[in-house]
């Protein structure tokens, strides 16, 4: 019969239409909770699957990456210890070359000290590739999860300096718990090795002495 294909196809549309309402009735108010959002991006979703941004937001997976930030650890009396040592690997590896670092120098000796005097990222140019975070040997630069960065004037606002880039290690733990743990473990292991080597050396020295 001519037109059978169209009718069959319209049946699919009708099913989608009805499924939306069935979903709605079945889920009730739960549809608008976090559970509902998760359902809407799961394999079982049948009806409407859109999310009403900005009232509803999709959860960001841990690996999600958007504009890097610098990590600092909080030490005693609220002092901030910046992990970055201004080694420059991130600036070297950055594909669009949007990172630039000013090294700080010891005012007395004039020699460079391992903390950046300033650290800039031009977020207009940053392509969110995550290579800086991937190759940072000190876990000091991490990709953020905050994707709502719209501003009215990009010339004034979109070169981030050190102050704007610094975020506490707790925030890092909060957005990327697994990665944080892996890196913390690796660091602990490294330090334990170092300590063991040192102890061994000392023991050897003591035995000699």
Partner 1 sequence: MIDLTLAIAKEIETRFPKGVAPDERSGYEGYLVEAGKLVEFATALRDELGYDFLSSVTGVDYMPEEKMEVVYHVYRSTGGGALVFKVQVPRQNPVLPSLVEVFPGADFQEREAWDLLGIRFEGHPNHKRILMWEGFEGHPLRKDWEEAYFEEESKPFDARWPGGDVYRAEDENPFTKNVVYPQDFNPETWIPDGDKALYAGMKEIETDESLETEQIVVNLGPQHPSTHGVFRMVATLAGETVVKLEPVMGYLHRNHEKIGERNTYLMNIPFTDRLDYLASMSNNFGYVLAVEKLLGKKAVVPERAEYIRVIMAEFTRIANHVFAIGTLLNDMGAYFTPMLYALQERELILDIFEAAAGSRMMCNYYRFGGLARDLPPGVEGKMRDLAFERLPRKIDELDRYLTENEVLRARCEGVGVLTPEEAIAYSAVGPVLRASGVPYDVRRADPYSIYDRFDFDVAVAYHGDVYDRYLVRMEEIRQSIRILQQALDDLPEGEIMTGKPRYSIRVPAGEAYGRVEGPKGELGFYVVSDGSANPWRYHVRAPSFINLTALSKMCEGDKVADAIVILGSIDIVLGETDR
Give CA–CA dist 80/17, Å, rounded: 56
Q: Which is nearer to partner 1, 28 or 88 (CB)?
A: 88
Q: Which is nearer to partner 1, 124 or 202 (CB)?
A: 124
3-state secondary structure string across 2-55:
CCHHHHHHHHHHHHHHHHHHHHHHHHHHHHHCHHHHHHHCCCCCCCCCCCCCCC
The set of residues, in sequence order, having a beta carbon less than 8 Å from that of 100 and lying 6+ positions away, is 91, 120
120 binds partner 1 (CB under 8 A): yes
Binding pattern for the stretch 179-208 against partner 1, x by CB under 8 A and - elsewhere: ------------------------------
Cis peptide before 154 (omega within 30 of 0): no
Residues 59-88 contacting partner 1, CB under 8 A: 61-65, 86, 88
Q: Which is nearer to partner 1, 62 or 74 (CB)?
A: 62
Binding pattern for the stretch 43-62 against partner 1, x by CB under 8 A and - elsewhere: x-x---x-----------xx
**DSSP track, 112-130:** EEEEEEEEEEETTT-----
Which residue do the tokens 């690997």 mark? 89
Contact with partner 1 (CB under 8 A) among 25, 178, 205, 206: 178
127 binds partner 1 (CB under 8 A): yes
**Least distance to partner 1, CB of residue 9, Å:** 5
CA atoms within 13 A on the CB side of 50: 4
Judged by the rule CB under 8 A, the positions of this chain that interact with partner 1 are 2-6, 8-9, 11-13, 16, 41, 43, 45, 49, 61-65, 86, 88-89, 91-95, 97, 99-103, 112, 118, 120, 122, 127-131, 134-135, 143, 155, 159, 178
């Amino acid at each position: 019969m001519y037109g059978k294909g169209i009718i069959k196809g319209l049946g699919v549309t009708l099913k989608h239409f009805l499924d939306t309402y069935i979903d709605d009735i079945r889920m009730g108010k739960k549809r608008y909770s976090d559970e509902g959002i998760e359902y809407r991006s799961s394999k079982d979703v049948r009806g409407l699957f859109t999310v009403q941004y900005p009232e509803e937001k999709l959860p960001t997976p841990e690996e999600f990456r958007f504009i890097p930030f610098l990590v600092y650890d909080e030490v005693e009396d609220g002092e901030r210890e910046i992990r970055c040592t201004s080694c420059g690997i991130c600036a070297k590896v950055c594909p669009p070359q949007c990172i630039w670092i000013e090294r700080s120098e010891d005012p007395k000796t004039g020699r460079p000290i391992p903390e950046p005097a300033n650290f800039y990222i031009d977020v207009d140019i940053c392509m969110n590739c995550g290579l800086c975070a991937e190759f940072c040997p000190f876990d000091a630069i991490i990709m953020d999860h905050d994707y709502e960065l719209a501003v009215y004037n990009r010339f004034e606002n979109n070169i981030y300096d050190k102050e704007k880039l610094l975020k506490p290690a707790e925030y890092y733990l909060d957005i990327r718990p697994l990665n944080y743990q892996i890196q913390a473990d690796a660091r602990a292991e490294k330090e334990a090795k170092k300590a063991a080597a040192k102890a061994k050396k000392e023991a050897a020295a003591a035995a000699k002495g």
